[in-house]
Amino acid sequence: MKVGLFGANGRMGRVLIEALDASEDAHLSVATVRDDSPWVGMNVGELSGIGKKHIDCSGISSLKNTDADVMIDFTLPVVFESNLAWCVENKVPVVIGTTGLNESQLHSLDNAALHIPIVFAANYSVGVNLMLSLVRKAANVLGGTADIEITEAHHRFKQDAPSGTAMAIGEAIADELGRDLKTCAVYGREGKEPEREHNTIGFATVRAGDIVGEHTALFADIGERLEITHKASSRLTFAKGAVHAAQWLSGKPAGLYSMEDVLGLKE
Ligand code: NAD
């Protein structure tokens, strides 16, 4: 399988190059950066620190000559719509990891999925996707009485908060409890506040150093509490998951798929 990459120079782009190099079945066929990027012409292996490989980074306009079977996009919301439009126009399936999308961008994603197969996940690690099933179960058993709080920590460069994964955990819990996350979420607390309202789901964010990604869902009652925590120690876990998703996507009909679909975790 030939895989094309958007944003090859990003933190995720570099580990995706590494994950594709290690894969037996999926191979990098084009690695794009901005047309005006200083990385155009840089060897992908040297970029990701794995030694010289047979592909150099090319400007995004080189995509018109690509024969990629699937694209992988871990970039930023600012470039999300144009990457997606290219995939739809050229009928190339895409695996998307970009987080922090707004309502209108999520709407574009739904529309695009009418034309091409797409995997979209806020987190491509196996552990986090298992965590989504576990928090549903915990919500089902404890959610009636326990207070629910989600905390997350990431590196100092992350540009969206709370993380897409924290939001996905919140959505899973709210869905299980029949609540609407839009109305029951509380983002951060400061100063004098009234007592905690039981039906809320709280979010707290830490940004520091080089933390790859940590998430905890806390279910706290009087007398006991349950914490479900996932800690990623390497971005390679997300990259390997995305490559796995790209292979899984091959031959699928148009539609919007999740990593839970890819891993067969949906009940
Ligand atoms: P990064 O800042 O290191 O990389 C961003 C990439 O986007 C770079 O390649 C950059 O060149 C490109 N880009 C930015 N603006 C652009 C523009 N205007 N035109 C073209 N390209 C542009 O970020 P990162 O840490 O690699 O993370 C990338 C995305 O992946 C973020 O949204 C992050 O939250 C998300 N992420 C998702 C997962 C997951 O499992 N789904 C895991 C980690 C990170």
DSSP per-residue codes, 51-78:
---S-B-EEGGGGGG---SEEEE---HH
Calpha distance 131→35 (Å, rounded): 39
pLDDT band at 267; cut points 50, 70, 90? low
Gyration radius (Cα) of the chain, Å: 19
Residue whose pair of structure tokens reads 């999925």 in the numeric block: 113
Q: Is 97 touching ligand 1 by the criterion CB < 6 Å? A: yes
Q: Which atom of ligand 1 is nearest to the CA of 98?
A: 32
Tens of pLDDT, residues 72-100: 999 999 999 999 999 999 999 999 999 99
Tens of pLDDT, residues 32-79: 999 999 999 999 999 999 999 999 999 998 888 888 999 999 999 999
The DSSP-derived string for 152-187 is: EEE-TT--SSS-HHHHHHHHHHHHHHT--HHHHEEE
Alpha-carbon dihedral sign for residues 181, 201, 95, 10: positive
Secondary structure (3-state) at 15: helix
Measuring from atom 1 of ligand 1, which residue has the nearest CA? Answer: 10
**CA nearest neighbour of 84 among 65, 104, 67:** 104
Calpha distance 130→132 (Å, rounded): 5
Measuring from atom 34 of ligand 1, which residue has the nearest CA? Answer: 99
Calpha distance 1→131 (Å, rounded): 30
Whole-structure pTM value:
0.91
Q: Which CATH class is domain 2-120+235-263?
A: alpha beta
Tens of pLDDT, residues 164-208: 999 999 999 999 999 999 999 999 899 988 899 999 999 999 999
The residue ranges of every structural domain in the chain are: 2-120+235-263, 126-232
From 6, 9, 12, the mutation candidate for ligand 1 (largest count of ligand atoms within 8 A of CB) is: 12
Q: What percent of the chain lies above the pLDDT cut of 90?
A: 95
Active site residues: 154, 158
Q: How high is the pLDDT of residue 65?
A: 80
CATH number, span 126-232? 3.30.360.10
CB 199: neighbour CB atoms within 10 A? 13
